[in-house]
Amino acid sequence: MAKELRYGMVGGSVYAFIGEVHRKAIAFDPRAELVCGCFSNIPSENEDTAKAYGIDPGRMYADYKEMAKAEAAREDGIDFVSICTPNFLHYEIAKEFLLAGINVVCEKPLCFEVAQAEELEALAKEKDLLFAVTYTYPGYTMSRVMKDMIAAGKIGKIAAVNAEYVQDWLINELEPQEGAKENLSVWRKDPKFSGISNCVGDIGTHIEAYVNYVTGLKIKRLAATTNKYGHALDLNANILVEYDNGVNGAYWCSQIAAGHYNGLVVRVFGDQGALEWRQEQPDYLYYTPKGQAMQVLTRGGNGIDQPAGGYSRLPVGHPEGLYVAFANIYRDYVTALIEKKAGRPYDTSSITMVDAGVDGVKFVHAVVESAEKDSAWVEL
């Protein structure tokens, strides 16, 4: 079957985790073909990845600037680029492809500085390009069902939000050690590669983006504490937020929480009920109507009458996971881009677009500023 779109990738060699997730997710719906890339700044890894995916040697690039320029000049150039590099490279790479007139899908966080994020958003608008940021978890079917149910008034008017994203992969960093501020063994802990935040920038932004996706609420201001435990960047944070409608929420993100691996949990409470979703059990949504017992809604099962239920790809009882969440994001993005190219109306409402990326950068800066000011309220 002929592919409808061509795409390229920057970063994401076969020796890295996230690039493989993106490639497999795009391949779930065979409408976009990987035709070029600059997969690594290590020549051997770049070559290995190009060979693994059958990339024409003439379209394996040593430099992303060369790639953007060359692909923009080709009649059969790429329709979009997927950026899967470490955080500190997102801004300059995204900008290069936007300037070349190429649509962009970028890993989160969008970039480090608010001014850079706003520049990318403005550039995408000026060039009329589709720019998505891959916050993964809205791609799950039950996340979308949760969004639909809230919009349909199933829990009434939102009264409070509670969310956490907790891991334990940096728990050993709590032990005293020499040169703690210089401990750069993991790139996410290095300000050069992660900017002003580690934990909040890495997983805290997922909370902010997810809550906004399912509720539509935007943060007006926040007050935060962060804990560095002698390191250069945060490993734990507690954040109190106030939304634009006056409702409050509480977020906790941590990478030193023993026994927790990828524990994103989001609870939304309304005056007529509550909803809860857990990333580690993504096929289930916990719904408690006011005055009734909790109901467990299952992806593909009975009681799912929202349109979002159509994102289910496997029969009920067969677990879906991270690849499918990414695949749903790319399915919506590819569909929108195909429709846009054809001059037809297109829908990006289920995609976390560049404006969500801008909000994420603002969120990180506000948390760090608040923590530095003894948890003072900071406006977004």
pLDDT in tens, 27-69: 999 999 999 999 999 999 999 999 999 999 999 999 999 999 9
CA angle 295, 301, 302 (to 5 degrees): 65
- The DSSP secondary structure of 310-339, one letter per residue, reads GG--S-TTS---HHHHHHHHHHHHHHHHHH
> For residues 194 and 88, is the Cβ–Cβ distance under 8 A?
yes
> For residues 127 and 98, is the Cβ–Cβ distance under 8 A?
yes
The three-class DSSP label of residue 164 is strand
Percent of the chain clearing pLDDT 70 (strictly above): 96
User: Both tokens of residue 108?
Assistant: 């989160």
Q: Quick one: which of 26, 24, 131 has its CA closest to 348?
A: 131
Residue 183 has pLDDT above 50, yes or no: no
User: Both tokens of residue 187?
Assistant: 């790139």
CA dist 358 to 111, 114, 134, 255, Å?
A: 8, 7, 13, 24
Say what angle helices 322-341 and 18-28 make with each other, to 10 degrees: 60
For 227, counting Cβ atoms within 10 Å of its Cβ (0-12 exposed, 13-18 middle, 19+ buried), the class is: middle
Residue 187 vs residue 358, higher pLDDT? 358
Q: Dihedral sign, CA of 40, 42, 46, 52?
A: negative
**Identity at 87, one-letter amino acid code:** N
Q: Is the pTM here over 0.85, yes or no?
A: yes
Question: What's the rounded Cα separation, in Å, for the pair 158 and 56?
Answer: 53
Average pLDDT score over the chain? 93
Q: Quick one: which of 295, 291, 198 has its CA closest to 253?
A: 198
Question: What's the rounded Cα separation, in Å, for the pair 210 and 363?
Answer: 13
Q: Using DSSP bridges, classify how beta strands 80-84 and 103-107 pair: parallel, antiparallel or unpaired.
A: parallel
* pLDDT at residue number 187: 63
> For residues 275 and 285, is the Cβ–Cβ distance under 8 A?
yes
Q: Is 13 left (phi over 0), alpha (psi -120 to 50) or beta?
A: beta
Mean pLDDT value of segment 80-94: 95
Residue 310 has pLDDT above 70, yes or no: yes
Mean pLDDT value of segment 199-208: 96
Question: What's the rounded Cα separation, in Å, for the pair 145 and 155?
Answer: 13
* pLDDT at residue number 185: 43
Residue 315 vs residue 132, higher pLDDT? 132
Question: What's the rounded Cα separation, in Å, for the pair 48 and 40?
Answer: 10
Question: What's the rounded Cα separation, in Å, for the pair 147 and 158?
Answer: 12
Residue 186 vs residue 305, higher pLDDT? 305
* pLDDT at residue number 184: 35
What value does the CA radius of gyration of the chain take, rounded to a whole number of Å? 21
Residue 92 has pLDDT above 70, yes or no: yes
CA dist 240 to 171, 208, 222, 276, 374, Å?
A: 24, 12, 6, 19, 13
Residue 245 has pLDDT above 80, yes or no: yes
Domains with residue ranges and CATH for the chain: 5-129 (3.40.50.720), 140-316+359-379 (3.30.360.10)
Residue 320 banded pLDDT, cuts 50, 70, 90: confident
